[in-house]
C-alpha cells in the first residue's frame, strides 16, 4: 500500500510542479483534436495477497482522447484489462490464480511539451473496475469497485508512448504497470 501511495503522490507532485512552471511559457502548439491509443505492457502486483507469491502479468487497453484547444490538457475515456498471476504453495502442489481487472475510466492528462517530438505527460483516470479471479481460484473473489489509474510517461514523435501506471482498486488486485502504446492522431498541425 505504501508503494501505491508513493506512486500517487509522485504523480500529483509532478503534475502540480509542472503546471505551475508551465503557466509562464508560450501558448502550446496546435495539435489535432482527437487521438486514439492502443497499449500493451507488463503488470506487477502492487501489494501482498494472503500467502501468495506475486508474479508478472499483462495489461492492455484502448483509449480515446480529446486535446483541449490552446491548452496542454486532454481528456478522454479508456478501457483496459490488467491481470496478475499469484502462486499459492500448498504442499505438495503449487496453485496459480490470476487476479484480473477490466476497467472503464474517464481520463485527464497534462502534456508538458505538446506538439514536440518528445512530450512528457502525467495523468489520472477514475472509473469503474470489474474484478475477478481465474485459474486455480484458491480465493474466489469477484465484484465491482471504483478504480484509480495514475499514469506518467513520454510520447515520442506523436506516435509512440512509453508509460508507467498503476491500477488501484482493492487489496490483491492492485498493480504497477509499464508498457508501450501506439498513438494515431494528436500530432502537431501544419501551419497554413
Is residue 192 situated within a structural domain? no
Q: For residue range 94-140, list pLDDT tens digits in order.
A: 788 888 999 999 999 999 998 899 999 999 999 999 999 887 766 77
Percent over 70 (pLDDT), the chain: 82
CATH code of residue 56: 2.40.160.20
* Domain region containing 11: 2-185
Q: Give the CB-side neighbour count of residue 134, counting CA atoms within 13 A.
A: 7
Is the whole model's pTM more than 0.85, yes or no?
no
Q: Please state, rounded to an integer, the average pLDDT across all residues of the chain.
A: 85
Is residue 126 situated within a structural domain? yes
CA torsion 107-110-122-129 (nearest 10°) is: -10
For residues 165 and 149, the answer to whether their CB atoms sit within 8 Å is yes
Is residue 191 situated within a structural domain? no
- Joined together, the cell numbers standing for residue 101 give 481487472
For residues 167 and 151, the answer to whether their CB atoms sit within 8 Å is no
For residues 95 and 88, the answer to whether their CB atoms sit within 8 Å is yes
Is residue 137 situated within a structural domain? yes
For residues 109 and 117, the answer to whether their CB atoms sit within 8 Å is no
DSSP state of 168: B
Q: What pLDDT is recorded for position 8?
A: 52
CA distance 192 to 190: 6
Amino acid at each position: 500500500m505504501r508503494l501505491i501511495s508513493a506512486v500517487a503522490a509522485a504523480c500529483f507532485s509532478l503534475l502540480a510542479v509542472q503546471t505551475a512552471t508551465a503557466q509562464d511559457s508560450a501558448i502550446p502548439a496546435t495539435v489535432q483534436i482527437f487521438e486514439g491509443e492502443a497499449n500493451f505492457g507488463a503488470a506487477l502486483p502492487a501489494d501482498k495477497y494472503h500467502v501468495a507469491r506475486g508474479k508478472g502479468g499483462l495489461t492492455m487497453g484502448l483509449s480515446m482522447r480529446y486535446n483541449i484547444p490552446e491548452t496542454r490538457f486532454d481528456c478522454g475515456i479508456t478501457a483496459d484489462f490488467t491481470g496478475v498471476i499469484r502462486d499459492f504453495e500448498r504442499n505438495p502442489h503449487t496453485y496459480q490464480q490470476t487476479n484480473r481487472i477490466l476497467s472503464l475510466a474517464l481520463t485527464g492528462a497534462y502534456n508538458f511539451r505538446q506538439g514536440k517530438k518528445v512530450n512528457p505527460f502525467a495523468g489520472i483516470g477514475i472509473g469503474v473496475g470489474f474484478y475477478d479471479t481465474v485459474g486455480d481460484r484458491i480465493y474466489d473473489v469477484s465484484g465491482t469497485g471504483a478504480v484509480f489509474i495514475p499514469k506518467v510517461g513520454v510520447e515520442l514523435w506523436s506516435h509512440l508512448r512509453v508509460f508507467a501506471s498503476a491500477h488501484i482498486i482493492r487489496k490483491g488486485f492492485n498493480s504497477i504497470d509499464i508498457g508501450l502504446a501506439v498513438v494515431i492522431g494528436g500530432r502537431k498541425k501544419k501551419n497554413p
